[in-house]
Amino acid sequence: MPISSGNLLVAQSGGPTAVINASVSGVIQEAGKHAAIDEIYAGKGGILGILNEDLFDLNEETNWSIKGLRHTPAAALGTCRYKINFAKDPEGAAKDLDRLFKVFSVHNIRYFFYIGGNDSQDTANKVHLEAVRREYELRVIGIPKTIDNDLPHTDHCPGYGSAIKYNAATVMEIGFDVGSMSTDSGACSIVEVMGRAAGWIAAGTVLARRNDNDPPHIILLPEIPFQEDAFLDRVKETIEREKYCIVVVGEGLRNEAGEEIAADKSRVDSFGHPVLSGAAERLAEIVQGRIQLKTRTVKLGYAQRAAAHYASATDVNEAIACGEAAVRAAVVEGKSGYMVKIVRVPESENYQWKTDLHPLGEVANVEHLIPRDWISEDGFSPNEKFVAYARPLIEGNNEIPSQNGLPHFIRLKQDPVEKLLTPRD
């Protein structure tokens, strides 16, 4: 059921990715095709910005900037980690929703698109339910985003393909480097990647492996409890065979007691705080301390979620399509309370995908881990089922204009929308 014309509001939430702006570009360009949409506003800094009535006018941006969003990393609209949390603060949450609908109402917002991961889909769902409760005419669609790839129901998340493409290329390059320096005394290199609960990102580096004995030789996933002795045995075997060993570890790797190995409570820094230098540093200590093997670490940190210079063209196209599909679902189909998902066409010879919708209520706060049967029996590597799943997601290099030898990213001018409400307290 199409609704009478009104304004559109789009916002981003949670940790950025290399392609989260591509979804914004999809939203804007699709919205431009529909007469039902008047103004196209952005919430500056996610839901928190909307609560502060910090909106800006995307119709004032140049067409060149809108196109540039397709290759610009990070959250061009700004982002936040703010939650509307009834469990923790029912009064505050009710107040937030009240304020939110004041902002929507005064700016005649009738379409709301929220791009984010688990928490953001939960927020979108709350906004949708509140609109229904208030009988406020609003179409709410969530657009998936997360390099962690831990959203349920969607085949994968926009942002994931680019993160693992960059990480896999990096691991391949480090493998060539360390392998070319290997001597009889051996060398170990440990690459720490993101992923606190789910190992999707760590697993993705398996794509660097063209032949059985290629690096990464060991991939440690948060889903599989860390077994120190078995790990060291595997390192030793690899060194004997290859003279070097490349290990990838997801930052959230846990021991059998469920404690993150990076959190070594026995040590404090010079300020009395626990030392949390990370999973790779902790593993390096173990390898050097127990088997006296020279070990170096790499911690990619934010680089891996922002690496637009090596983004996957497949990922970018899917991110754009998710933005477009959200607008079509809301405007053409009159849907609300759904998240756009990516569906893989089964049994097709080449990778084919389409977008579909999934009820937000079934998405929010559910975490999607790697199935155990996608991981080798010994737990040290994803297997061929994972590879078949992940390989298509990194296909194609996204085109990116250069300026003085570096990527030419865009910055939106963010023309503010006039505030009509008194500031919230």
Q: Which residues does the annotation mark as catalytic?
A: 148
What token pair was written down for 325?
Answer: 């599909």
Pairing of strands 353-359, 244-250: unpaired
CB 104 within 8 A of CB 133: no
Residue number with CB closer to a second copy (372 or 408) = 408
Amino acid at 324: E
Residue number with CB closer to a second copy (85 or 182) = 182
CB 93 within 8 A of CB 85: yes
* Burial of residue 85, with CB atoms counted within 10 A of its CB: 0-12 exposed, 13-18 middle, 19 or more buried: middle
Residue number with CB closer to a second copy (267 or 354) = 267
What token pair was written down for 222?
Answer: 């948060």
Residue number with CB closer to a second copy (77 or 360) = 77
Minimal distance, residue 122 CB to a second copy, in Å: 19
Residue 101, CA distances (Å) to 50, 56, 94, 126, 133 in order: 10, 17, 11, 12, 12
Residue number with CB closer to a second copy (28 or 36) = 28
CA 421 – CA 425 distance, rounded (Å): 12
CA 232 – CA 247 distance, rounded (Å): 11
Amino acid at 215: P
Which residues of 199-311 form beta strands (DSSP E)? Answer: 218-220, 244-250, 264-268, 274-275, 295-299
What token pair was written down for 191?
Answer: 């690459």
Task: Label each residue of 13-65 as H, E or C.
Answer: CCCCCCCHHHHHHHHHHHHCCCCCEEEEEEECCHHHHHHCCCEEEHHHCCHHH
Residue number with CB closer to a second copy (57 or 285) = 285
- Cβ contacts of residue 17 below 8 Å, gap of 6+? 73, 145, 146, 147, 158, 159, 162, 163, 305, 306
Mark 393-413 as b/e (b = at least 16 C-beta within 10 Å).
bbeeebebeeeeeeeebbebe
Minimal distance, residue 147 CB to a second copy, in Å: 11
**Residue keyed to tokens 């390989």:** 391
Rounded to whole angstroms, the maximal C-alpha distance in the chain is 74
Minimal distance, residue 97 CB to a second copy, in Å: 21
- Cβ contacts of residue 169 below 8 Å, gap of 6+? 208, 310
Residue number with CB closer to a second copy (373 or 415) = 415
Residue number with CB closer to a second copy (64 or 271) = 271
